[in-house]
C-alpha cells in the first residue's frame, strides 16, 4: 500500500487550480484521471514495483513542493477525533454548492408564477459564487496566447468578439467583430493574443453543440451536409457617447455583404439615439434572433440592460420592440436561418 500511494500521489498531484480561474476542458476529466492513476499505481505495486522513497517527508517530497508544511495526521482523525472518511456531507440539490441558493429561489418562484411568465431570476449571492457560476462572467475567455484547436459544432452559431485580440485561422480578430458559421462547419485554430481574448458563442438550440475536433478519430463520420459558410466581419466601429445619444434616425448597418446571403440569415448593427425605438425583425421570418447590446443600453420592461446584455426572440414570439436607453443604443441583431437539418 505504501508503494502504491508513493507512486500515485507524488508523481500525479491534481491541484485545485484545474477547478478555478480559467476553466479548461481538463476540469471534467481530473477526477477520472486521478482514479486511473490510482488503479495503475496499485497494479504496479502488486507486481512488486517500489515507489519513491519518503514521498511526503523527503527533501523534495510532497510536503516541500505541494503543501509547503509538514504533514499532520491529525487532520485525518484518530484517537479522540472521528476519521474524516466518516464525515459525509450530502447536498440538498444535485448542483454546485454555490448555486444552491439560486436553485432554491427558482423553486419558490415556480410555485407562485407560471414558468412561461418568468424572464429572469436575480439572486443576491456572495462574490465567489458570482465569479464561479454567475451569468455576468463571460466564458470561455482564452488566456494570453492560448489556442483552441480547429473544430466544428452540430449547430449554427454567431460568435461575438467584444474584448481582447487574437487570430482566427489567418484572420486577426479584435473588438468588435462578428463571426457566423453554419452547422457542421469547421473553424480555427483560434489563438488568443498577448492580452487574452473574449468571445461569446450564440446558438438558438442546445442539442448537438459539443465541439468535434478535427484529427480526432471518427470526426468525419459526424460531419453532415451544410452550406459551410464561415464568415468573419471587419471590425465594427462604435459611436462615441454624445454622437450616439443625439442620433436622430435609426440605422441598420449590415455586418456581412447582403448580396452573398440567399436565406433567412441576417446580421446588422442597429444604431438608435437616446430613448428611440424601432421594431425588430419578424421573428417568424427566420429561426429566432439575438439582440446584443454592444454600446449604450437597452430599455426593456422598465429595466435598463447595459453593455453585453442579450435578448433572444423565439420564432414563435410576436415582434420585439427594440428601445434605446437614455444614452442611446448600438446593438448587434443576429437572425438565424430556418433549420435545414
Q: Which residue in 190, 269, 197, 176 sits closest to 230, CA to CA?
A: 190
Contact between residue 45 and residue 5 where contact means Cβ atoms under 8 Å apart: no
Phi/psi at 296 (5° precision): 80, -140
Region 79-88 average pLDDT: 77
pLDDT at 325 over 50: yes
pLDDT (0 to 100) of residue 164: 94
pLDDT (0 to 100) of residue 32: 86
Question: In this structure, what C-alpha cell is assigned to residue 291?
Answer: 439582440
pLDDT (0 to 100) of residue 21: 57
pLDDT at 137 over 50: no
Same-fold call for 138-232 versus 241-335:
yes
pLDDT (0 to 100) of residue 105: 84
Three-class DSSP category at 145: coil
Contact between residue 269 and residue 294 where contact means Cβ atoms under 8 Å apart: yes
Question: In this structure, what C-alpha cell is assigned to residue 10?
Answer: 507524488
Beta bridge partners of 255: none
Region 158-187 average pLDDT: 96
Specify the DSSP element, H or E, that contains 37. helix 30-46
CA distance 194 to 146: 9
CATH class of 241-335: mainly beta
Which residue is it, cell 509547503?
A: 68
Other Cβ atoms less than 10 A from the Cβ of 298: the count is 22
CATH topology of domain 138-232: Jelly Rolls (2.60.120)
Other Cβ atoms less than 10 A from the Cβ of 235: the count is 13
CB-hemisphere CA count at 13 Å for 322? 32
The ranges assigned to domains in the chain are 2-79, 89-136, 138-232, 241-335
Instruction: Give percent of the chain above pLDDT 70.
Output: 91
**What's the pLDDT tens digit per position in 216-250?**
888 999 999 999 999 999 999 999 999 999 999 99
pLDDT (0 to 100) of residue 22: 57
Region 195-207 average pLDDT: 90
Amino acid at each position: 500500500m505504501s508503494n502504491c500511494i508513493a507512486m500515485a500521489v507524488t508523481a500525479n498531484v491534481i491541484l485545485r487550480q484545474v477547478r478555478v480561474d480559467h476553466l479548461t476542458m481538463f476540469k471534467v476529466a481530473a477526477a477520472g484521471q486521478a482514479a486511473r492513476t490510482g488503479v495503475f499505481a496499485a497494479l504496479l505495486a502488486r507486481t512488486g514495483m517500489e515507489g519513491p522513497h519518503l514521498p511526503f517527508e523527503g527533501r523534495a517530497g510532497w510536503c516541500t513542493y505541494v503543501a509547503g508544511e509538514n504533514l499532520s495526521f491529525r487532520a485525518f482523525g484518530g484517537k479522540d477525533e472521528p476519521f474524516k472518511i466518516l464525515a459525509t456531507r450530502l447536498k440538498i440539490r444535485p448542483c454546485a454548492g454555490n448555486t444552491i441558493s439560486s436553485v432554491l429561489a427558482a423553486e419558490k418562484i415556480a410555485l407562485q408564477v407560471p414558468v412561461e411568465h418568468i424572464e429572469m431570476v436575480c439572486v443576491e449571492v456572495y462574490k465567489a459564487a458570482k465569479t464561479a457560476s454567475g451569468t455576468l462572467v463571460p466564458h470561455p475567455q482564452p488566456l494570453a496566447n492560448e489556442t483552441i484547436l480547429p473544430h466544428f459544432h452540430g449547430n449554427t452559431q454567431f460568435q461575438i468578439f467584444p474584448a481582447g485580440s487574437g487570430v482566427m485561422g489567418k484572420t486577426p480578430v479584435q473588438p468588435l467583430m462578428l463571426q457566423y458559421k453554419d452547422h457542421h462547419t469547421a473553424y480555427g485554430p483560434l489563438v488568443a493574443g498577448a492580452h487574452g481574448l473574449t468571445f461569446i458563442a450564440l446558438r438558438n438550440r442546445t442539442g448537438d453543440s459539443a465541439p468535434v475536433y478535427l484529427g480526432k478519430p471518427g470526426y468525419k463520420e459526424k460531419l453532415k451536409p451544410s452550406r459551410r459558410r464561415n464568415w468573419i466581419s471587419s471590425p465594427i466601429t462604435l459611436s462615441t457617447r454624445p454622437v450616439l445619444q443625439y442620433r436622430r434616425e435609426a440605422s441598420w448597418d449590415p455586418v456581412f455583404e447582403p448580396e452573398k446571403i440567399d436565406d433567412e440569415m441576417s446580421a446588422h448593427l442597429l444604431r438608435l439615439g437616446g430613448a428611440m425605438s424601432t421594431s425588430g425583425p419578424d421573428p417568424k421570418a427566420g429561426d429566432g434572433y439575438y439582440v446584443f447590446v454592444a454600446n449604450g443600453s437597452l430599455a426593456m420592461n422598465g429595466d435598463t440592460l447595459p453593455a453585453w446584455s442579450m435578448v433572444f426572440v423565439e420564432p414563435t414570439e410576436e415582434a420585439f420592440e427594440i428601445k434605446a436607453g437614455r444614452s442611446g443604443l448600438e446593438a448587434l441583431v443576429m437572425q438565424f436561418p430556418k433549420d435545414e437539418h
